[in-house]
Chains A and B, each alone.
Chain A
Amino acid sequence: MKRKKLLALLVSAVTVMSALAGCGSNASSSTATDTAPAAETKTESTEAATEEAAEPAESSEPVTLRFSWWGGDARHEATLAVIDAYQKLHPNVTIEPEYSSYDGYSEKKTTEFASGTAPDIFQIETGLGPEYYNQGVLYNLTEGGMDFSEFDANFLVQNGQFGSGSQYAMPTGQAGTALIVNKDLADAVGIDLSKPYTWDQFFEWGKMVRDYDKDCYLLSANTSYATAFILRAWCRQMNGKPIVDADMNLNMTEEQFKEAFEFIKRLYDEEVCAPAAYKAPFGDQDQEDPNWIAGKYVASIGYTSSADVLSAANDSINYMAGQLPLRDGGVSDGWFNDCPQYIGVYAKSEHPKEAIDFLNFFFNSDEAAAILGTVRSVPPTVKAQVICAENGVLNPLTKESVTVSMQYNGQSDGGPTTGSEVTAILTDAYENVAYGTLSPEEAAAETMELLQDYVDTHK
């Protein structure tokens, strides 16, 4: 009897499974056939649609959109308020907010993409933008009739087009590299970071700080930010190209890597940076380092968006946004300004038009700009920046650091170089050199091998 039952169970399971498999394939084929003509009609009607795009969708049929993002309390609150405001204007649209911290956020997106259940609108980590674009999960916003008139056209080309000529993701703000300087300590030691300077000068200052006080260091550098803002910038200054470009070319030689890692080794040997082992427990949270709180670093390097948190760690200190180090005879200054994250529309969204209408409100309306303030860094449009400044919500230090980072004219590294895998390879090499577990030669050889392999498998 038991056996029969087992058999029955098996049979039913198999039936269910095949039914499921059938379902899956049916669903995917039907969506495929659905979207093809839809896309065609869309391109035809784009011109007509652009004029109406700012208007609410004609039909008042109830529509539900899912919008997901990550962030902290302030960002959650402001975004929810914008959703509320939009819903008041468009009573037929319900926007389901899905917000969380960044822990597990992109993993969840991966799972949802795999099953075709991603939200209609979602926030995207800058480094992952190109990856998402390549996988085809992003909706073409240009074709969808998004209004870009408030944006600087060059800024859009650099952020969210991924070389396609169409906008696939909206940059949520302006961000770049920031050197947040403890002005009190810098003045005491006699370091002036407000004028352009070179790396050589940087090393000298490092020594001055150590001579001034044995407990102090010039730079609080955690390995993940240092990889992005010291190693990558240094390479960029040397040869002017991203380490891996969009066509999957590896633009560094082993010799160049060796030179780069020798430079990194010097940073630690000459005690310009605090020891890597000391910094490790704090991850990329420099503001939690007791020595930063106690004001024992002259500067910390990171994103412009961290200016807020870094200066809040100890508000009895005066801070400023420092200039960034340059290379003597470098081909490029290497420093660039991009965006802290993107917001995009899911390619399989059932209501792309409504989603884009919401994004128009989110990015272009005065009301949204006033509510959002700087919860996603300095806003991407001049109009919104003016509104923020009028409302006094723009943190002066953040603004100052964005201004500093915008005076450089390096090209964004955005692409495979900032993707998670290349970043992991570079960070690992950086750590090994910083800890001295690998010599610069060994690290260069290993990095070359791994990157070559990455490039080969992704070509």
Chain B
Amino acid sequence: MLLLQVYPFITSFYYSLTDYNALAEPHFSGLSNYVRLFTKDKEFFKSLAATLKYTVYTVPFKIIMSLFIAMLLNNSRKGIGALRTIYYLPSLFGGSMAVSILWKIMFMDDGMINAFLHKFGFETISFLGNPATALPTLSSLEVWQFGSSMVMFLAALKQVPSSLYEAAKIDGAGKVRSFFSITIPQISPIIFFCIIMQTINALQNFTSAFVVTQGGPVKSTYMLGLKLYNDGFLYYKMGYASATSWVIFGLVLVFTVTLFGTSKFWVFYGDED
């Protein structure tokens, strides 16, 4: 594990301090990659902004949506199994080519979303063609695939002892109150986990931008994950790309540490007193 996880980890940090181009031996170049990133590379800040926006657009929606649906699906009514499968279905396709084609066709000028909007008298919107709407459209794809956190919430909800709800009922607590005072605290470790993971995923997002928009139009969806990929593998600036990923690392770290800091106020672990 040290070899497979930690060695690449450390190597990439070393690369970030070199002019490594993936083909020739790396030469040490100090902090120049980082300096360049922050002082010369305008694209970096654009990418950073797009990445942060994407995170803000997707994470809250995804979490709320999946928790809401998981609550509704958490019973044993007839046909609920099929419904659960339906909700998970979009996530099963992942970042496949078919999904990317699907999204393009749905959102193109003559596509079904526009046809639907026309019925209500809206003008045609070039969802993926307009720099202002491309990122939200891409985000909708991400939110659509909320299945994995839904599954985790379902699993977590199952861990909540039913005796707690019964006790609350005896105390006269309503549904809403027991949701906030029992469900949320009980599954808080998983909510916490999902927020962290979804944020990490969003900050590193690569797949959806790569398969649907390739970062366009006008780089409006050129997120950091895609930028470092292109820098490293297409422009042979592996050292520079490593530096970019260490900046992402820093971002994620700051976020996680902050969230961990708040966690003692709202995350409740069963193994603590």
Residues of B contacting A9 with CB < 8 Å?
2
Contact with A along B212-225 (1 / 0, CB 8 A): 01101111000000
B197 within 8 A of A: no
A106 touching B217 in the complex, CB below 8 Å, given contacts A13-B3, A114-B23, A276-B129: no
CB distance from B44 to the nearest CB of A (A): 13
CA distance A431 to B129 in the complex (A): 11
For chain A residues 253-286, which have a beta carbon within 8 Å of chain B?
275-283
| Other-chain residue from B129, B232, B238 in contact with A281 (beta carbon distance below 8 A) | B129
CA distance A410 to B218 in the complex (A): 30
Contact across chains for B22 and A280 when beta carbons are under 8 A apart: no
Residues of B contacting A10 with CB < 8 Å?
2
A424 within 8 A of B: yes
CA distance A57 to B106 in the complex (A): 56
A420 touching B129 in the complex, CB below 8 Å, given contacts A13-B2, A281-B108, A437-B218: no
CA distance A45 to B112 in the complex (A): 67
Residues of A contacting B235 with CB < 8 Å?
420-421, 424
Interface residues on A, range: 35 or more
CB distance from A436 to the nearest CB of B (A): 10
CB distance from A156 to the nearest CB of B (A): 25
A131 within 8 A of B: yes
Contact across chains for B236 and A277 when beta carbons are under 8 A apart: no
Contact across chains for A280 and B128 when beta carbons are under 8 A apart: yes
CA distance A279 to B238 in the complex (A): 32
For chain A residues 82-133, which have a beta carbon within 8 Å of chain B?
106-107, 110-111, 113-114, 131
A16 within 8 A of B: yes
| Other-chain residue from A16, A135, A435 in contact with B131 (beta carbon distance below 8 A) | A435
For chain A residues 10-60, which have a beta carbon within 8 Å of chain B?
10, 13, 16-17
Contact across chains for B126 and A106 when beta carbons are under 8 A apart: no
B110 within 8 A of A: yes
Q: 7 closest pairs, A vs B, by CB?
A: A277-B129, A280-B129, A107-B233, A277-B126, A13-B2, A135-B23, A281-B128
Tell me the B residues contacting A by CB distance below 8 Å.
2-3, 6-7, 21-24, 40, 42, 104, 107-110, 126-131, 134, 213-214, 216-219, 229-230, 232-236, 238
8 residue pairs A–B, Cβ–Cβ below 8 Å: A107-B233, A110-B22, A131-B236, A135-B23, A223-B216, A278-B129, A424-B234, A453-B40
